[in-house]
Amino acid sequence: MALNAPDAYGPFWISATLVFCLASCSNIASWLDHTGDPTLWSYDFSRVATAMTIVGLYLLGLPVVLWGVGKYWAVPLPLSFLICLYGYSLTVFLPVMFICTAPADAVDWVAMLISMAWSCYFLLINVWGYAAEYLSKEKLLPFLSFIGYDDEVDVPLHMLEDLGIEFEFEMDTESMSRAYFECAAEGNVETLRFLLSSDVHGELLNSVDVDGFSALMIAAAVASQRRCQSADIRAEERSPSLRRQGTYILSSPSHILLPKEGLSLRF
């Protein structure tokens, strides 16, 4: 890649395509993981903003870090060249987005680690030649290490992109909690029976934190009025410290406060 002739066309469309694929595939993964009532699943448009943030920070943030290090060690690497380089390094993540829709987490992590290694290698081979002209062998390796590692945060910088993408595929907890809470608030008898079934209870405990789900169970029970006692007992059995943690406050048989959700319901 030419140092003085960076290409902005490729990185722009690659990053834009990655944002679309990341948001779309993470929603597809959420849909595939959802084995309950299909009417309780909904497309999460907030994933688009999250994907833009993840890709934008990688595309602009890491090149600025490397450019600043180059300035400090007198390595004239243009910022536009580095942004272009990091943009093209995102190419490998495009097919990985479709692989990450697989319901197996192990497959996701293996695919992400392989893509991270390839992307990091692509950056190293393109920066190595230019940096070697200005740095001695003793300084070259520490300089190149900033492509993949930062001693200040003790985290592989290149892995931050992988962690951000993996986070996008693991975002189901909040949206699922909100969906079940809204269904409980509607007081629909069929939905409440579905919520209170043992199979669904066990299934949701794998994706929603115990305290949050117990609060939803009690909200459903209060909404139905007929199942309050049994649901309250089941919730307490699942999370005996729920009341002490202040996840919910049952102030009366017809009023429930959920500080964690930022909501107050009256029935």
Per-residue model confidence (pLDDT) at position 193: 47
Considering the entire predicted model, what is its pTM? 0.59
> Which residue, 244, 246, 248, is CA-closest to 258?
248
pLDDT at 151 over 50: no
pLDDT tens for residues 36-90?
A: 556 656 777 878 888 888 888 888 888 998 898 888 888 888 999 999 999 999 9
pLDDT tens for residues 5-47?
A: 778 888 899 999 999 998 888 888 877 776 555 665 677 787 8
Per-residue model confidence (pLDDT) at position 15: 92
Per-residue model confidence (pLDDT) at position 167: 58
> Contact, 35 vs 203, CB < 8 A?
yes
How far is 1 from 127, CA to CA, in rounded Å?
Answer: 10
> Which residue, 174, 221, 173, is CA-closest to 196?
221
pLDDT at 120 over 90: no
- Buried b / exposed e across 149-170, counting CB within 10 Å, b at 16+? bbeeeeebbbbbbbebbbebbe
> Which residue, 177, 173, 171, 204, is CA-closest to 26?
171
